[in-house]
Structure 1
Amino acid sequence: MSTIPDRDAPRRRGRPAGGGNSPIQARQALVDAAGRLFAERGLDVTMAEVARSAGVTRTVLYRHFSGRDELVVAVAAEVMDRYVGQVVQELIPTDDVCGLITESLVFVTTVVSRDPLLTLLSSGAEHGVASMLANSDALRVKVSGLYEQLFELFRDRLRPGLDPVDVGRYVLSVALSLLMDVVPGADDPDTVRRFVRTFVLPGIVAAPPTPGRVF
């Protein structure tokens, strides 16, 4: 004989695994909690503290992140997502592909690189945000993927024979060079603009601007 559950019976105490959240919600709660704790206290935060702040168990935390390094990258990716959204909103609505490439690189090298949380998260790396980008597949995909979509959209503006994926990865390599201070004066927006117009755009676009003095 089947047993019908008693709807009036008291519910068990305690939180379900993951705080009652779906796996996606639990992961996001962990990333949000880690971001808050890192911003408030720096990197001297334990995984247990992150789990407690997110309202989940350590078992749930380690189900999503194998260690703190992976969690740091996830927080950095969250910050990068916001910047990608900002770039799309501010720069994409244009048909000036030269200006878009130029200003996006200025944005990466003079705004993204100075983000306080990204700077904190990459504080142990020799080249800061650049090292974090170079060493994280997830972060590289976010930045190069944005450019790949852009160049697919403006394929007819590229030099004949160029593949948008290759161009996206090339522009990412330029951004890393600028972030690593390989280019003199890369912290100055006008220097970055002159550098991109003179040395970068001629290798990408079919109709580049006239080159000029850079340094």
Structure 2
Amino acid sequence: MVRSASTPYASRDGTVEPADGAVARPLRADAQRNRAALIAAARTLFTERGSEASLEEIARRAGVGVGTLYRHFPSRQDLIEAVYVEEVEALCRSAEDFTGGSSWDALVHWFDRFVDYVATKKALLEELMATIGQDAPVFRTCHDAIFAAGRPLLDRAKRDGVVRPEVEFIDVLRMVSGVTMIRNAEPEDIRRVLSMALDGLRYRPTGPA
């Protein structure tokens, strides 16, 4: 499970794990709902408005007071980091949703979900970099979690012979990240280009000349 090294972390089961290693305490049901609503509202507004999204606006969208927001997230950085970690965890969990079909479909569907993750990441990354820096432990932890979730999907496709054996996960990640960064492109355009790029990973045995 991804966890920030600098702020308290509330897991999906409602347990708050303080950053200083103190004993975890459960959140009340209403507090869990408020925290989830704040993260959802922040995700939407940061994606829509970037750094222009205010904490007051996020609280209104979540249907809570600003005081409630600050009880869960004492600073803007804490909220941004929590949204970022939540997005990474959701991306990693989604790998489990694609294990029932073909290995190729699982790989494609997971990277399609990756497009949504990058859309939110772009909105958060500038502020995160400005406040905690690119060497912050949370970035390494999230990087490792993404590899742990996505690499098995690629390895399975390689074992099934549907992806070229020399393909490495880091190369696919760089390719997909590059596609998602196309400027002034609609989401459907990005997904169309991504589909063409991923198709280049397929294994196509060469017959006799």
Taking structure 1 as the reference length, the TM-score comes to 0.49
Q: Within the alignment, does 1:35 sit opposite 2:39 as a pair? A: yes
Higher relative contact order by CA 8 Å / sep ≥ 6: 1 or 2?
2
> Would you say the 8 A contact 2:106–2:153 is kept in 1?
no
Cα separation, 2, equivalents of 1:120 and 1:193:
21
Check conservation: 1:84, 1:143, Cα contact below 8 A.
yes
1:195 is displaced (CA, Å) by 1.6
Alignment match, 1:88: 96
Closer, same or farther: CA 86–76 of 1 in aligned 2, 3 Å: same
Match of 2:145 among 142, 145, 158: 142
* C-alpha distance in structure 2 between counterparts of 1:51 and 1:138, whole Å: 30
Kept after mapping to 2: 8 A contact 1:148/1:168: yes
One-letter code aligned to 2:92: V
Q: Which amino acid aligns with 1:53?
A: T
1:154 offset after TM fit, Å? 5.2
Give, in whole Å, the separation in 1 of the partners of 2:190 and 2:205. Answer: 20
- Measured after TM superposition, the shift of residue 147 of structure 1 is 1.2
Aligned mates of 1:113, 1:171 — CA distance in 2: 15
**Is contact 1:94-1:100 (8 Å) kept?**
yes
| Residue 193 (1) aligns with residue 195 (2) | yes
Distance (whole Å) between structure 2 residues aligned to residue 40 and residue 144 of structure 1: 25
**2:77 maps to what in 1?**
69
Q: 1:22 to 1:176 in 2, by over 3 A?
A: closer
Cα-Cα RMSD: 4.6
Q: How far apart are the structure 2 equivalents of 1:141 and 1:78? A: 15
Instruction: For 1:88 and 1:159, locate their aligned partners in 2 and report how far apart those are by CA, in whole Å.
Output: 23
Gaps in structure 2 of 5+ consecutive residues: 1-13, 18-25, 47-52, 57-63, 128-133
Aligned equivalents of 2:192 and 2:92: distance in 1?
22
Unaligned segments of structure 1, at least 5 residues: 1-20, 126-131, 211-215
The structure number with the bigger radius of gyration is 1
1:44 aligns with one of 49, 54, 74? 54
State the TM-score, normalizing by the size of structure 2: 0.50
Structure 2 residue identity aligned to 1:38: A
1:93-138 per-position Cα deviation (integer Å, ceiling 9, x unaligned): 12333x33233223322x4445xxx27942857xxxxxx9xx9334
Q: How many residues align?
A: 156
